[in-house]
Structures are given as C-alpha cells and as structure tokens.
Chains A and B, each alone.
Chain A
C-alpha cells in the first residue's frame, strides 16, 4: 500500500477523542465540532541499503566537490564533525546514522592512508555528551579507536586556544569557530536533518561556533524575523548563518557536507498508537493506550521520565547526499518536505498542541518550564511555511504538566534564569538587553559547561528567544494541566482542562473561534496557504 500523505480532518460528531501528548504521558481530548486536526504523512520507505547509499553519495557528490576518495590523501589533516545528542529525537536505534556515515568515511580515509584524523562533536553551546551517548552515536568501533587517544573530542566554545577568529561578514557578524576544524585540509560534517531548520551552513557556522559568533543570530530580533526558522528562505536565522557559511568557505575552510534525512517512524511498535489516527486504533492500540496512560499517571514523574527516555526510535534513513554545502542542503530540504509537508488551508484562531516529554535539549534529562515554552512556542509554533497556523493575535493552547523541575547538572543556568530573570520580565528583548551578558560570561556557568555536562550559561536565553516570534504573534498562551505557578512565571495562563482553556481563549478570540490541533509528534510541517 502506498504511503498516505498528511491529512486535515474536520471534527464531527463521529470523530473519536483526539490524542494529546501530555509530557511523560498522553490523554484523549474531545475537540469541538468543526475543529481541524492535522495528521502527519505516513513514514517514507527507508533506504534498502543505507551503507550502499552512503557510499554512493560519497563517490558521487553534488555541487563543486570531487568524490571523497579524491579529497583524501596521506599526510593531510582531516576533521570529521558530527551533530550532537540533540538529534534525532528520540535517539534512534543502533546503528545510528552518524555511525554508519563515519564508519564509511573512515574506511575511505584509511584506504587513502590519512593518519591525522580528529572527530569533533559539534555541540555549540549544548552540553557535552556522555561516553554512553557518544558510543551510541558513533558505535563502539569508532569510539574505541579514537577516544582513548584523545582524537574524539567535543567542541568547546569557551576554549580560547582552540577557537579561531576568521573575520566579519558584510553585516558585521563575527566569525569565530573551532580552530582544528577551520585549519584542517578537509572538514567533513556529518549531519542528521530531522527538521528543515537543520543542516546547511548552520552545521558549521552554529555547531562549531563560539558565543561571540552565535550572538549575532541567536537573539530576539533575528528570531522575530524568522518566519519561520523552519523555512530557510524566510528565516533571518538562516540568512545570518548563510552569510557566515559563505564567509567561512571564502576564508579557505574546505567543507565536505554529508546530510541525511529520516523518515517519521518515530516510536517503536509497542507505542504504535502514537502514530495512528484514532479511528484506526485496533484492540491492541486501545489496550496499550489504556494500560500505559493509566500506569504512567500512577507512576512517579521520575520513573515515567526514565521509561520514556529509554525509548529508542526506529527512525530510518530516507536519503543521504554529500558534497558542497548549499547543493547538498537543497536536496536535503526537499526530502524533508517530502516526508513532513502537509497542505493546510487558512489560519486558525486557536492552535492546540500536546507537548511530548522530549525536545532537543533534554535528551536523558528533564523538560523544565523554559524548555516547555521553547518546544511549544519555538519549535511547534514554527512548524509552518507561508503563514503561522494560528492567526495574528490568536491563542496557543498547550498541554503539558510544566513542573518547575530542573536538572541541576544539565541546566544550572536555567534555574537562575527561571528564578532571577523570568521573575523580572518575560519580554525577550528586555531580557536580552538586561541579563544576557552576565549569564553568558559567568565563570561558574562556563566552568560547568567546559568540565561537566551543563548547557552554557546563555542557553536558556536562546530558548526564550526561540519563542520571540510566537510571543510577538500570539494574543495569549494557555497551558492545560500545567503547574499554575510555573505557567504564570512563564507569562502564560494556566487552565485545568481544555474546556477551561477554550473559555479563557474566548476572551481573546471571541465566542466562536476556529480551532486547529497539530497531531504531533511525529513531526510535520504545515504548508499554510
């Protein structure tokens, strides 16, 4: 049977209740008649022979690049950089795509007699990965060959000895990136494109950059002018990264980009119902839903979190392309859209979202309130091309427990951001002006970032800036089922039920609003006409 495309359902009397994610759990909500529910396209068929496809891509690059073996030679300095733990979501079943690509690249490098090879996790200001996480991403064979010799490292955006300032773009943006990568004869970047935002020049210009570089596009102004940042041509975030990427190329950094796309086969078969349309749930789906939702509600949040974070996704590779950055990324973006695009006619007054337990910044960690805001207003709100799903001045209703819980090891600066910054203001521009620099340069946060597994001190600011476009666009944000105090701290309105939320929303959008629910994950992109 052929793959079914995305689908917009109009809710009627016969529509069964709709699944909403609710953090480490889920619930069923009855939506008002006439509401729309957007369902993701079904997963694309995976590549039959991923290793063969990778090899083919390396031997037949696109754009102005020679086949990889022609670029490799004895005596050269080769650096292989790869995306960090934030991709894909949830982490994929072994073998990870990074492992498959890097093993193939290393085979070719070994054949060419390349001795000086270094692997770098392109973290930017994210937390460092643990050994287990690195082993999962790269496989034991790669890890054991490189890590013991200090040849597997993680980008340190605060290491002055291993950063290089390349200059400024025509827009005055500083470019400071990883020195080893920039000074190599060849920089190979291994990417996973989970969403259209990923990849392209952003891989190097962001993943290997320092705060000095990142601040030029990770700020409220850029994010407010990225509409959306999932749509590169309409995204100021991408314009800035593209300027930087071209500057880096002109500065002589030779990049061989390898990009991969995934299908949306997001959850293992034991959670098959999460990817199905509710009216197609069979007896097993209903039994699984009833059993898991009930037991998860009874389980302590910590246990529920552990259960969910142990899920490995059966994601499979749908395409791989290699060569010059922009030529590669054009194909990648097209493939992402093929998998995730859904046509939607017109905007809505109210957009509802059920937020899951995971976002790019809490893998094996806790989804704190700032990340809840970032996931809802940053990521999900921006899953559009053309116009936002919700109209200007409309209401966004999220469902998530939003507990004021933080991982002290991973998110230390988030705690202070929550307690010291959000208590003063929730305006991204004001926050940027008043507080960013002190957090970004705080020696304690820098120490934790460099030596522990902490996100950089400035990272919670970026998460808040991620929400800037939505905050400017929306009339109100309501979180259903969230901790009222935490929700108010974020500047949003708490509601105990969806009906209460709709009642609250009517103050903003009137008594007979239109409502649309984005049935994600799995991830989809709304092409709003």
Chain B
C-alpha cells in the first residue's frame, strides 16, 4: 500500500515536473519564434482593426461555408442542444407562411440563447439566418470572430451605442434575403428579468427594411448557461458566499415561444413599434406558465406603450426581492418566472 502510494506520488510529481519544464520552455521561446517586443522609443501605431465592427464576415455567407455550417449545426450543435436543453417549442405555426426574411426579436438571458434559438428554427429558416452579436464580446479576438461567424453566422453589431454602420450591414443582409436574430435588450439580463427594448434595434431594422418582426421568448436558458460571477458584476474574491457556478453548462429544460409576425402600422414610429414588440414578448412570457388566452388577457392590449405591461420587467425593488420574485420558492418555481 505504502509502495503504491509512493509510486503514485512520484508519478504525479514527475508529471508536474514535466509540465513545469514545458511551461518553462514555452516561456523561454524568444523572437523570432515568439512575437517581437516593441522598442520603447517607437510609438505604437493604432492597430489596423480587423476585429470587432471591422471584421470582414462576408466569407461566412459563401456557399461552401454555409454548407459546412449546416452540416455542423444539424449534426453537432442541434443534437447537443437537444440533450443539454430539451426544448418545448410553441408558435412554430407563425413561421410557416412567411414570405421573405424576418427579424427575430428575443429576450436575452444567456450566451446559449443564440444556438438554442437557431436549433429550434425550422430547417428552411435555420440555415438562412444571421445573428446580430455584440462586437465587443463575440468579435474582440480574431479566433472568436472566425468561430462565431462560422458556427452561428454571426455579424458584429455595436450594442453600447447606435451605430449606423452595423445597422447598415444588418439592413443590407435582410434586404438580401437573410433572416436576422437580434436581442433588443442590447445584452444579457443582469438578474433574469427582461430589460427594456432599445427602439434602435429590431424596430428600427423593421422600419428600414419593411420586414416583419417575430417576437420570441426564451425561458430557462439562464439555468443552462448562467452568467459568470464577473459578468454579473461580482468583485473578485468577495465574501466567499457568492455563487461561483456561472459560466458552466448545466442541463435544464427550456421553452422557446414564437409569436405572430408584427409589422409597423402606417405612421407608427419605431419607439412605439418597439414597445409593441416588447409587449408581445411579455405576452409570450406569460404563456410559459399558462395558455395564450390567459396571457393575452393579462396583458393590456389597449396601449402597449403606455405601461400596460411592465410585469416582465420585474418589481421595482431591491435586488434580493427581484431575484426572489423571479425564481420564487422551489415549490413555486413553475409559476414564478413571469410573476403576475
């Protein structure tokens, strides 16, 4: 027993030594194998930006890449998504008779939202849809830009401010026949509750292109891939009692609900239309725990903008109460995602 323990400890120490040796060798790699250092006396020019909004993603829509993405999505991403997050999908009938491209406007709680949404789309839409992704997160490295452009047909958009260039790109693609997935909140919800929709998002694109918006509600995705503690704004270290489980995949069921297409009414401005889209998503949220009629009745349809439906935004209360109201007691979980 003693000898087995000593041999296992010597094995682990030799592995450790080897790993340290490799690390030391990696550190000792010098120019030209490693990147050159920059002389102090020389001013660094602004790097030629080829990532972020400047990333050239045109390649990701060429036919061979689309074919490869379709194979990848149907044979790898979709089966994995089904295992990891078995979905309940409702409202697919709204997508059956679409004539031309549409804009999918969804709530956003997790990075996993996009692949889960894409994999629940009917096949004729799934492979002809691009995703508006935050340029500062998904396109901040070359490798990430390539990966997301390939896997999700992502295009970079500016989420911190209105950017004509990224909007123009999205408009061109929609006019070119591509469906677009966009998250009008501009980022993932910090606490699970929906944030107000930006009018300069789905509504603006609908206004520019004349194409309808399909409201989408994703439920439960934040349990599949929660935000990391850093994403949630928790300071490093902390008291030690915060949840550090964010950023890891966990198996959990989800629901994806598609609403009826919404188009701008004559004379309707984008702000008002954005409110209507937001209200439609809120209605879908209520359908998770009930049926369409109940949901429809509980949401005021009289004036979708003037505060008729704000329940999906959560109570104006301290953080713990918002969380409490969102998740509720375990026994009430099934009824608390979108409280009455």
Contacts and interface: CB of A to CB of B under 8 A. Distances in A.
Contact of A9 (B32, B33, B39): B39
Interface string B26-47: 0000011101111111100000
B38 A28 contact: no
B31 A17 contact: yes
Contacts of A28: 31-32
A56 interface: no
Contact of B40 (A12, A17, A278): A12
Interface string B13-32: 00000000000000000011
A15 B33 contact: no
Contacts of B39: 9-12, 14-16, 279
Contacts of B36: 16, 278-281, 286
A289 interface: yes
B37 A286 contact: no
A279 B38 contact: yes
Nearest to B41: A10
A429 interface: no
A205 B79 CA distance: 83
Contacts of B37: 14-16, 279
Contact of A281 (B32, B40, B41, B42): B32
A430 interface: no
The secondary structure that dominates the B interface is loop
Interface in A255-285: 277-281, 283, 285
Contacts of B31: 16-17, 28, 278, 286
Interface residues of A, number: 20
A28 B36 CA distance: 12
A434 B86 CA distance: 98
Contacts of B38: 14, 279
A286 B32 contact: yes
A12 B37 CA distance: 11
A290 B41 contact: no
A281 B32 CA distance: 9
The secondary structure that dominates the A interface is mixed
B154 to A, nearest CB: 25
Contacts of B42: 9, 277, 279
Contact of B33 (A11, A12, A286): A286
Contacts of A278: 31, 36
A290 B40 contact: no
Contact of A14 (B32, B33, B40): B40
Nearest to A17: B31
Interface in A400-424: none
Nearest to A288: B32
A100 to B, nearest CB: 34
A120 B192 CA distance: 86
Nearest to A11: B39
A286 B39 CA distance: 17
Contacts of B41: 9-10, 12
Contacts of A277: 42
A16 B37 CA distance: 6
Interface in A269-319: 277-281, 283, 285-286, 289-290
Interface in B215-258: none
Nearest to A285: B32
Contacts of A11: 39
A37 to B, nearest CB: 9
Nearest to A290: B32
Interface in A63-100: none
A278 B31 CA distance: 9
A277 B36 CA distance: 10
Nearest to B31: A16
Nearest to A277: B42
Contacts of A283: 35
Contacts of A13: 40
Nearest to B32: A286
Q: Select the residue from B35, B38, B42 with max chain A CB neighbours within 10 A.
A: B42
Q: Select the residue from B35, B39, B40 with max chain A CB neighbours within 10 A.
A: B39
A283 B33 CA distance: 9
Contacts of A289: 32
A31 B33 CA distance: 19
A277 B38 CA distance: 10
B28 to A, nearest CB: 15
Nearest to A273: B32
Contacts of B33: 286, 290
A453 B40 CA distance: 51
A517 to B, nearest CB: 13
A14 B39 CA distance: 5
14 contacts: A9-B41, A9-B42, A13-B40, A14-B37, A14-B40, A15-B39, A16-B31, A28-B31, A277-B42, A278-B31, A279-B37, A281-B32, A286-B33, A290-B33
Given A28-B31, A278-B36, A281-B32, 15 more contacts: A10-B39, A12-B39, A14-B38, A14-B40, A16-B37, A17-B31, A17-B32, A278-B31, A279-B36, A279-B37, A281-B36, A283-B35, A286-B32, A289-B32, A290-B32
Q: Which 6 A-B pairs have the closest CB atoms?
A: A16-B36, A286-B32, A15-B39, A279-B36, A14-B37, A16-B31
